[in-house]
Structure 1
Amino acid sequence: MPNSKNYWTQQRPDGKWESKAEGAKRASKVAGTQAEAWAHSRQMAAEKKGEAYLRGRDGKIRERNTYGNDPYPPKG
């Protein structure tokens, strides 16, 4: 089940970068650079206490930031 607190940054087919809430059909921001879209994803995730994911051109997650209740480091 998608978590709307999480935001993804990924490249679009047209070469631009988008910041999109998880499960959303439309991007919340379309930017010309990866850095601009990534900054927006981090800001939105921080406001909603979710996670921000940066997906590289190869489709793999390059970076991930957690805001709010981060279980790391584990107790013990």
Structure 2
Amino acid sequence: MSKQNYYVVSRPQGGWAVKKEGSQRASAVTGTQKESIEIGKDLAKKSQGELTVQGRDHKFREKNSYGNDPRNIKG
């Protein structure tokens, strides 16, 4: 499986969606942000991609990588 990036975004109709980068359709739709984050984490981990989370104010508030990160942060 190739690296895929996912986004947790609010829906105009209410609720939250997990969307794969470049896709028009949601991979999952849930009633809460927490549920969408858990689903998004699982999908991003399986593809060794990233998960970006949108806040209630529609600004992206969090980004996590689950693959091989080229940055050396061990210090």
Q: TM-score range by the shorter chain?
A: 0.7 to 0.9
Deviation at 1:19, TM superposition (A): 0.3
Root mean square deviation, CA, Å: 1.8
What does 1:33-52 align with in structure 2 at a 5 Å threshold?
Answer: 33-52=32-51
In the aligned structure 1, how far is the partner of 2:30 from the partner of 2:22? 19
Moved over 4 A (4+): none
**What's the TM-score, normalizing by structure 2?**
0.86
Unaligned 5+ segments in structure 1 are: none
Unaligned 5+ segments in structure 2 are: none
Aligned residue-pair number = 73
Q: Aligned letter for 1:26?
A: R
SS where residue 29 of structure 2 aligns?
A: strand
SS where residue 18 of structure 2 aligns?
A: strand
Percent identity between matched residues is 47
